[in-house]
Amino acid sequence: MSGAGEQTDILSVADVVRERWRVVKKIGGGGFGEIYEVLDQLSQVNVALKVESAQQPKQVLKMEVAVLKKLQGKDHVCRFVGCGRNDRFNYVVMELQVGNYVNYLFL
């Protein structure tokens, strides 16, 4: 590996998505996306926001959103809050599972 240049995060602390979700901190990331703890400025509740770059060749978040919506109401499944996209990234917002961030990495 050449180690040439590190990949930068899609979002930064204090960024606001869709004039609603303010980034509190990054809580994880992997090959296809990043997960942030964000404050929902409408409900004043912290939730999780998963993003993937719009320039990423393999877009997987759309499929994850479909699966998450189908599993709503089942035990041990995060509550779906919303989703969307812009020119920089695609995103899904879901219930924050405090202390168990690994759950977001496969959704």
The predicted model scores a pTM of 0.83
DSSP conformation class of 96? -
Burial (CB < 10 A; 0-12, 13-18, 19+), residue 91, is buried
Domains of the chain as residue ranges with CATH:
16-96 (3.30.200.20)
Cβ contact 24:39 at 8 Å: yes
CA geometry: angle 32, 37, 42, nearest 5 deg: 120
Q: At residue 44, does pLDDT exceed 80?
A: yes
> Residue 11: which pLDDT band, with cuts at 50, 70 and 90?
very high
Cβ contact 20:45 at 8 Å: no
50 is in an annotated binding site: yes
Neighbours of 58 (CB within 10 A): 7
